[in-house]
Structure 1
Amino acid sequence: MGIPTPDEENALHARILQKESVAHSEAFEVLMDPIIAAVTRARRCAYEEARDAAIDAVIDYLEAPERFDPQRGRLLAYLTQSAKNRVTDWQRSTFRRVLREEKFGCLFELLGMPPKDSLENALEARRIVERIEKSNLGVVDRAFLELMLLGERSTQRFGEVLGLGPLPAVDIQREVKRNRDRITKWLERFGREVIGVKS
């Protein structure tokens, strides 16, 4: 199904405000595919993650449609932004969770910092994550780094995060290696900054 026109969106929104039950199912039929496509493209995330974010965004909208103001923009743009924000939040919280679970030895190793006892390690990891989140590292690069910290070995999984799609395996391997090397170098520079600030 194609992208609805502004008039179609406004008519659907009016019907949802009138609490037409059929309009709720139509919202899913009409809006889900364009939202998923836009989120997958913008956040370079897996289809399933974009789909889950789109479902949540549409459900939240249907529960409180009066929050959407048609004067401020299109319904599709409003829901797509909501879904994008969800994916970003999930990626950040997953990144934090990885470190909370103390799977951050790889991070300390890459930064060239000696591991300490677990409490100091946890506090140091929290500071490092906060600094990474304030850094210029983009959402896709953070998701890539998260896979590195989790010890992910699948080139295909890294390729999904990079949004490489159905490229030949050799091209995916080349791109994944290039990005792994780039992010490792970024981490090494970042590590020197962190150590420099601390000393």
Structure 2
Amino acid sequence: MSRQTTPLGRPRDPELDEKLMTAALLEYARLGWGAFTMQGVARRAGVGKSALYLRWANKEQLLLDSVESVALTLRVNVDTGSLTGDLTALATALLEHFLDPIGWATLRITIDVTADFIDLQPFQQRIVKSLRTAATGAFSRAVARGEMSPNTAHEPLIESLFGAVLMHTLSRTQQERDHARAYPSEHIGPLVEVIVRSARPMKK
């Protein structure tokens, strides 16, 4: 799927492009792939379908550009000086990502790809890679600081962290999700502590 080019003589409007791509992700977050249409995106954005088709040939290209340009915002790889601090920063960003409709759209894409509903494997690979990179860096620094044994496998810890934040998000009521947006540390702290305890070297 190649990026759609703009016809000669018709300059792109970056603000309108972003508005359309944001509308696409919000529409996907609400409906998923089965009900995702160019007409629905145009209606949500308050434009005619021609505004979309002048930029993208089909909904696959629109979604690809939307993910690449708008949705992949989780880039947290901060060295706080401790594994607890690093994972807290990452888990907080992940929680906020899942609580945001655009972040939720990326999750729906990965689920739809896994279930073979859509052939959007490049989307899933980009999304998963962006989520794993920060966690791998946090655990690698923890090994260098002696907070974690070099023999401890990173992958189960990464999956445990992401899974815990995801399940926490899914199991909250609307009122609890609003509380999580306002006070993320209260929700993240206990989850991170479990991962950190699992990663600590065993005492001899």
Compare CA radii of gyration and give the structure with the larger one: 1
> What TM-score results when the alignment is normalised by the length of structure 1?
0.35
Structure with more of its chain in helix, by fraction: 1
